[in-house]
Chain A
Amino acid sequence: QVQLQESGPGLVKPSETLSLTCSVSGGSVSRRGASWSWIRQPPGKGLEWIGDIFYSGSTNYNPSLKSRVTMSVDTSKNRFSLKLSSVTAADTAVYYCARFITESDCFDMWGQGTMVTVSS
């Protein structure tokens, strides 16, 4: 059973960079036909897809966040990461990592999520 686990600081100061890592167990980030996404949910709001990355390093980002997002993948450590720069209070959210299966067009595995608060 594939499991995903988010990790990173729970508190980030305004204007700084938010950094999160998703560790994958029971499966490989090098799997063909899959991409690896970051999704977030601000308090009281709906879910927002941030972007995804393939094992090759190819990325797709939500246009609304593209200028501030960088994703990377480390196949040797079986994990992928998110960096979101110049954060503001609006970036306060629960951040999830998830696996997207291209053939089925769905996110079939998710992490539990990690709360990140942007505050000084």
Chain B
Amino acid sequence: QSALTQPASVSGSPGQSITISCTGTSSDIGNYDIVSWYQRHPDKAPKLMIYEDNQRPSGVSDRFSGSKSGNTASLTISGLQAEDEGDYYCCSSEGRRNSYVFGSVTKLTVL
């Protein structure tokens, strides 16, 4: 199973909004598989930011939002802050929920 496709990098200035795309196929994202998003800072444990396509865990800022259309899921961060800088990756749970595929990781730079 191929990895989901994400842009290698995105950037934005403080206060701006950015969107990170996560493109799969009609066999995964386009087949109603569930998408989640994770943030990773250097030398820290990855953090869940979005689950079930568009749900935010308790404690995650409402500046983070998720959406999905067709074969593509998206993570939008509004009002960019310096602390948002880091790596982001998506994950799709496959079919019978016993196999998972990740995106190729996007590095977010806050200018």
Q: Show the binding face of A for B, using Cβ within 8 Å.
A: 4, 37, 39, 41, 46-49, 52, 60, 62-63, 96, 98, 100, 102, 104-113
A49→B102 contact, CB < 8 A: yes
Q: How far is the CA of A109 from the CA of B57 in the complex (A)?
A: 12
Residues of A within 8 A of B101 (CB): 49
Give, as a whole number of angstroms, the nearest-CB distance from A56 to chain B.
Answer: 14
Residues of A within 8 A of B102 (CB): 39, 46-49
Q: How many residues of B contact A (CB 8 A)?
A: 26
Name which of B12-20, B43-51, B75-83 contacts chain A: B43-51
Q: How far is the CA of A49 from the CA of B97 in the complex (A)?
A: 12
Query: A108 with B57: in contact, given A46-B3, A46-B103, A47-B89 (CB under 8 Å)?
Result: yes
Interchain residue pairs with CB less than 8 A apart (26) = A46-B102, A47-B89, A47-B91, A47-B102, A49-B100, A49-B102, A96-B46, A98-B46, A100-B100, A102-B97, A104-B51, A104-B55, A105-B51, A105-B52, A105-B93, A106-B36, A106-B93, A107-B36, A107-B38, A109-B45, A109-B48, A110-B45, A110-B47, A111-B45, A112-B44, A113-B45
Residue B99, interface by CB 8 Å: yes
Most B-side CB within 10 Å, residue of A100, A106, A110: A106
Q: Is the interface of A mostly helix, strand, loop or mixed?
A: strand
Give, as a whole number of angstroms, the nearest-CB distance from B107 to chain A.
Answer: 12
Q: How far is the CA of A100 from the CA of B94 in the complex (A)?
A: 13
Interchain CB contact (< 8 A) of B104 among A46, A96, A98: A46
Interchain CB contact (< 8 A) of B91 among A96, A107, A113: A107
A106→B91 contact, CB < 8 A: yes
Q: Which A-B residue pairs are the 5 nearest by beta carbons?
A: A47-B102, A106-B51, A106-B36, A105-B34, A60-B98
Please name the residue on chain A nearest to B37 by beta carbon.
Answer: A106
